[in-house]
Chains A and B, each alone.
Chain A
Amino acid sequence: QVQLQESGPGLVKPSQTLSLTCTVSGGSISIGTDYWSWIRQPAGKGPEWIGRIDFSGSTNYNPSLKSRVAISIDTSKNQFSLKVISVTAADTAVYYCARDSWGYCSSSICARYFYMDVWGKGTTVTVSS
C-alpha cells in the first residue's frame, strides 16, 4: 500500500527557507487520481493545512500562508516538496505530508472535496538561531 516519508533539515534559522520532501512508495504519484498535501502542527495545537498539489503541478494553498509557501512535484522521483520562505519561530512545527483522496462536490458550494487517507509519520522542524 502507499506509504509516505518526510525528509529535510530539522533546524532552520530565522529568515531562511524551510525545505522538505515527501517520498511516496508503493504507488505512483503520477497516476493522476490523487492530490498530495502538506500539513503542519505546532506543539500542543491542532493541524494546519498548508497546501496541495496534483500530478500536473496544479496547486492550492492556505490563504494565510500563500505568500510564503510553494509546493512542487517531481514525478520522476515519486516525490513532492514544500518550501516556506522567510521563516520565523511561528513556523516551528511537526510537518506532515499526506495523500488526498477526493470527489466532486454535488452542491454548488465547492468544486471538489478532499480527505487525507494516508499520512507520513511527520518530521519536526525547529526555527531557531
Chain B
Amino acid sequence: DIQMTQSPSSLSASVGDRVTITCRASQSISSYLNWYQQKPGKAPKLLIYGASSLQSGVPSRFSGSGSGTDFTLTISSLQPEDFATYYCQQSYSSFFGQGTRLEIK
C-alpha cells in the first residue's frame, strides 16, 4: 500500500499568515491527490482535487501544488475560519494522510 505522510502534524499560525502543509507519498502517485479541511464535529470538506484544482466555492487563498511524491497545500493569508485539521488523500486508493492540525497562535 502507498503511505501518505503529512507534515507537520500540528501548526500554530496567526491570522494573515501564509501557511504551507506538506504531504508525501511513499511512491509516485502522479497528480492524484486531494486535500480536505475538517472542523470539529463536521464532515471533511473537499478543497483541492487533482493536486491543484480548486473545488467550486473554495476561496482562492487555498492552492495546491506538486506531483510525483511531494505535494503542498498553501493558504496565502489565513482567515479565522481556516483554523481546522487538513487531510491529504491519495485519489485512486482513497487512503488519507494522518492530518495536520492548524491552530491559532
Residues of A within 8 A of B (CB): 37, 45-49, 52, 62-63, 96, 98, 101, 103, 105-107, 109-117, 119-122
Contact = CB atoms under 8 A, between A and B. Distances in A.
Q: Which of B1, B91, B95, B98 has the most CB of A within 10 A?
A: B91
Indicate the size class of the contact surface on chain B. 20 to 34
A78 B77 CA distance: 41
A113 B43 contact: no
Nearest to A50: B94
Interface in B42-83: 42-46, 49-50, 55
A45 B87 CA distance: 11
Contact of A107 (B30, B45, B99): B30
Interface in B78-105: 87, 89, 91-99
B91 A46 contact: no
Contacts of A37: 94
B30 A46 contact: no
Nearest to A48: B96
Contacts of B97: 46
Interface of B is mostly: loop
B96 A63 contact: no
Contacts of A48: 96
B91 A115 contact: yes
Contacts of B43: 96, 98, 119-122
Contacts of A49: 89, 93-96
Contacts of A117: 46, 49, 55
B92 A114 contact: yes
Given A109-B28, A109-B29, A110-B32, A115 B98 contact: no
A47 B30 contact: no
A114 B30 CA distance: 14
B68 to A, nearest CB: 11
